[in-house]
Amino acid sequence: MEAGELSDEGRHAEAARTGAEAVALYRALATSDPEMYRPFLALTLDNLSLYLAECGREDEAAESATEALALYRVLAESDPGTYLPQLANGLVDQADRLGDEDDAALDVLTEAAAIYRAVGDADPEMYRSRLALALYKQVRFHALREDDEEAADVLAEIVGVFRALVESGSRLFRDELASALYWQATYLEKVPQPSDALEAVDEAVGRYRELVEEADSKDDRTGLARSLRLRAAMVSFWYGREGDALNDITQAVALLRRLIEDDPESTEFQADLGAALHVHAGRLSDLGRHEEALTAVTEAITVYRALPEDELSLHEDSLELSEGLLLRLLSAYN
């Protein structure tokens, strides 16, 4: 408990020292009474791996996670009902220690997901939400390798997990379902499977609208804005529905302006606004409204250039696209 509190306060080195002391204590106790203290040793080793990782001591963190996992395997063999979920948790932690660059991380996450599926009925809200977390880590693994089809397949399962939770009566996971649908649409478009992608983003927009109407939270407004921007791009590129696209992106821009008003220091919202204004300019241009398009893309460029230097470096390609669009619009307008 003390190590966890130190970690929460950002005192990572102290947390690691305290965690190491707890491991030493439980290791000694587990030697004399394995049945009683082995579970505590596994837990403290798992926690220690986190504290070591927070200190940048990755090799030691991986060693601690590996030892914890070996103990959880022994425990799960003797009492699967109690320790299989903890084994799955330990596998997810080990995947974090391995990192996205290590192909073994995917095998570890696959094993964790299989366990969460097997135990899901025991506590659906807990274990199925943990399944979704393990699956999201798989998506990240595939995304880094540009395995878009694999990522889309995993996201389909995540959508199914949250849909089942919502349909069972839990209102706690409606925003997670909307978010999963947004990401599923993103990767289905990349595959590409435009009709399936549009179906997913249509549902995401609808679900986010319901959430915004009920609570108007910042996260749900953000999700709605991003889903509208994605749908605007889809219906324009794949279906030539420029009027629908303009309607969606106009709403997205308005939502982002509100978000920035509420949180003017957020560079994330500013970058999102720049991207939305670029799409807005493109749709206005497609409809022959060049003067309005010029205004929108000029604002997009201004928004991007106002970002702090470290943030701007992440959006240089987007800035270049907006500058290119500006030149084309100036040429067409003149």
Instruction: Write the CA distances from 143 to 96, 147, 153, 180, 233, integer angstroms.
Output: 16, 6, 12, 15, 20
Model pLDDT for residues 117-174, shown as the tens digit of each residue:
999 888 988 999 999 999 999 999 999 999 999 999 999 999 999 999 999 887 789 9
Quick one: 150 exposed, middle or buried, by C-beta within 10 A (0-12, 13-18, 19+)? middle
Instruction: Report which secondary-structure segment, H or E, holds 66.
Output: helix 58-78
Nearest to 22 by CA among 63, 51, 60, 54: 51
Q: How far apart are CA 320 and CA 268, in angstroms?
A: 18
Total-model pTM: 0.88
Q: Which residues, other chains included, contact 233 with Cβ-Cβ below 8 Å and sequence gap of 6+?
A: 245, 279
Q: Which residues, other chains included, contact 243 with Cβ-Cβ below 8 Å and sequence gap of 6+?
A: 287
What's the pLDDT at 316? 94
Q: How far apart are CA 98 and CA 174, in angstroms?
A: 31
Q: Around Cβ 327, how many Cβ atoms within 10 Å?
A: 11
pLDDT per residue as tens, the chain (334 positions) = 566 676 777 778 888 888 888 889 999 998 989 889 998 998 899 888 888 888 888 888 888 888 888 999 999 998 998 899 999 998 998 898 888 888 999 999 999 999 999 998 889 889 999 999 999 999 999 999 999 999 999 999 999 999 999 998 877 899 999 999 999 999 999 999 999 999 999 999 999 999 999 988 999 999 999 999 999 999 999 999 999 999 999 999 999 999 999 999 899 999 999 999 999 999 999 999 999 999 999 999 999 999 999 999 999 999 999 999 999 998 876 6
In contact, 128 and 165? CB cutoff 8 Å: yes
Q: How far apart are CA 198 and CA 188, in angstroms?
A: 9
Q: What is the CA radius of gyration of the chain?
A: 24
Nearest to 95 by CA among 57, 69, 128: 69
Model pLDDT for residues 234-247, shown as the tens digit of each residue:
999 999 999 999 99
Quick one: 214 exposed, middle or buried, by C-beta within 10 A (0-12, 13-18, 19+)? exposed
In contact, 197 and 182? CB cutoff 8 Å: no
In contact, 261 and 241? CB cutoff 8 Å: no
Q: How far apart are CA 275 and CA 319, in angstroms?
A: 9
Q: How far apart are CA 228 and CA 117, in angstroms?
A: 33
Quick one: 82 exposed, middle or buried, by C-beta within 10 A (0-12, 13-18, 19+)? exposed
Q: How far apart are CA 12 and CA 6, in angstroms?
A: 7
| Alpha carbon 228 to its chain's center | 18
